[in-house]
Chain A
Amino acid sequence: MIRLGCTLKLLLLSAWLVGQTPAETFQFGQRALQMQNFALARLAFERLLFFEQDSFAFASASQLGQIARAESKFPEAITWFGRAAILAPNDMEKAGLELQKAAVYLRMNDPMMGQALLLGLPENLPDSLLKYQAFLMGVSYFMQSDFTQSQQAFKKALSINDQAGLQKLDSLFGKLARIKHPKPNLARLLSIIIPGAGQFYAGDIKNGLNSLLLTGGFLTLGIYSMLFYTPFDAIVAIAPWFQRYYMGGYKRAGMIAADRLNQKQNQVFMQILACFNSSEPQSRQ
């Protein structure tokens, strides 16, 4: 028994000494990726891909895509997912990669491109992939402010049995429909009429006062110089400044209102995402 133990230990040691197998290399790469040591992970997966170790080539390419994604190098990630799609063993894996690509496009703030990829997927996908597709579809519609379509897509992504989740989703989208103010165009218009009014309407007191004082100041300065010097002086020296801050004021008012509106919608978006945080698409059979 002791002899056997020794032999086994030697055997293990030798197997360990001889070198790393593809599987070990893959695991090593994955651990490096988990530890966010991207150079090491890249090296491991590049090696596997270079030697094209049967199924590992595909997996390595997609992992390299994940590395690029984690490093926020999105175009590179898309290239890698494309390469992995060529190596993919079956249509399902290919569809999975398309989904990854679409997610990266969404992350790049390009919902149109992401949606194009999502719509191009085949229909006979397993349930989990369909749900992920619907989820990404919901996000892309949301990014384009198409809330009714977004609601339908998000609903598809939840499982039918999840009644509580569906109800919560409906109520959240109801909340979203009620958010209408501040309207960016109205804020612009208000600020065109009275500088600062649009900012007050959007709820930004500081910038409203600032704009009012600044344009008011330049206006008084202009009138002052017109009265005590010549109208020419007022036009040449003061009018450009007045115009700059008057126009800047109403443009900023629009931007501030848009930001506020976005912020409100963002908060609901986070709550919608939280519905999916706990649930996951059913694992594949």
Chain B
Amino acid sequence: MRSLIALMVLLVHPVIAQDLYNKEHSKAFAEYLFKSGQYHLAAIELERITFNEPDNDSLKVMLVRAYSLEQSFDQALRTIQRLYPKTEQLQHPFASLFAYNLIEADETDKAMAMLRVNSTLSPEQKLWYEGFAYLKKNEFKKTLHLFSNTDLQNGSLLKLKTLAQEGAALRLKKPWLAASMSTLVPGTGKLYTGDWKDALISMVSIGLTGYQAYKGFERNGVKSTYGWIYATVGTGFYLGNIYGSVASAKRRNKRNLNRIKAKVDDTFRLHP
């Protein structure tokens, strides 16, 4: 009997040796998943490892990064709060990650409050996140104001400053001006915002319908059905064009701002 047991222990041994779920294997696998961009799977794996190994900070950082790279910023914030319930005393990597995720989750006020209270982040780091928060909200002048008091040595902060300058230099279209121009002369509002082809189409369609309505009324007076039909359509086009000029200005502004937003997002995705 004993020999049988011994035999079986021998047999079971290779099975034990091949455990894919032990610490080393799991860590290596999680790292692979993270580096190959499978952030969702990496997060599942890392949650398990950090549960078994609560003292390893680099793994926790990787977990939080996985969540924020997966765009689930709320989950990242919850994870940090679970790991370190006292958010005022957060240490270096987690403090900056917390600020970054707060800003990405559109909780700018909370992020600002957190940056004011926190004592572990360096002034430069705080500047970086404050600048990020303002840039995210397209408040370029505030960002420039933020950087105006200090002379910048840090290369990455300088990059933020150039982005802010680029944003401040944008000449945004004024929706009210587009609307009033279109009210006076149909189509000119869109000409002002730069959509000249749409402006041309609007001009022609409003002009033609207006002319047809005029012709109808001239021929049969106020009773002209023909006139009323074209008058209704023309008025619709006219009012729609005013609305469209405002929308066009907003769309153009959004497009220009998005170009800078993409640059800002890229900068921060690389250096959170």
Contact = CB atoms under 8 A, between A and B. Distances in A.
A42 B5 CA distance: 37
A25 B45 contact: no
Interface stretch (B13-21, B135-143, B262-270): B13-21
A55 to B, nearest CB: 13
Interface string B39-56: 011001100000000000
B20 A25 contact: yes
B12 A53 contact: no
B15 to A, nearest CB: 5
Contact of B40 (A18, A39, A229, A236): A39
B44 A21 contact: no
Contacts of A47: 20, 29
Given A18-B15, A53-B18, 4 more contacts: A11-B9, A43-B44, A50-B32, A51-B20
B5 A20 contact: no
Contact of B20 (A11, A48, A233, A236): A48
B1 A19 contact: no
A46 B32 CA distance: 10
B38 interface: yes
B169 interface: no
Contacts of B44: 39, 43
Given A11-B5, A21-B19, A50-B32, A42 B12 contact: no
B8 interface: yes
Q: A-side binding surface: helix, strand, loop or mixed?
A: helix
A216 interface: no
A86 interface: no
Contacts of A15: 12, 15-16
Interface string A2-20: 0010010001001100111
Nearest to A7: B5
Contacts of A165: none
A88 B27 CA distance: 27
B213 to A, nearest CB: 12
B226 A20 contact: no
Contacts of B41: 39, 42-43, 46
27 contacts: A4-B1, A4-B5, A7-B5, A11-B5, A11-B8, A11-B12, A14-B12, A15-B15, A18-B15, A19-B16, A19-B20, A21-B20, A25-B20, A39-B40, A39-B41, A39-B44, A46-B33, A47-B20, A47-B29, A50-B29, A50-B32, A51-B20, A51-B25, A51-B29, A53-B18, A229-B226, A236-B208
A46 B18 contact: no
Contacts of A20: 19-21
Nearest to B40: A39
Interface of B: 1, 5, 8-9, 12, 15-16, 18-22, 25, 28-29, 32-33, 38, 40-41, 44-45, 208, 212, 226
A82 interface: no
Interface residues of A, number: 23
Contacts of A39: 40-41, 44
A236 B1 CA distance: 103
A19 to B, nearest CB: 4
A236 to B, nearest CB: 8
Nearest to A43: B41
A19 B38 contact: no
B16 A46 contact: no
A22 B20 contact: yes
A43 B9 contact: no
Contact of B45 (A22, A43, A229): A43
Nearest to A3: B1
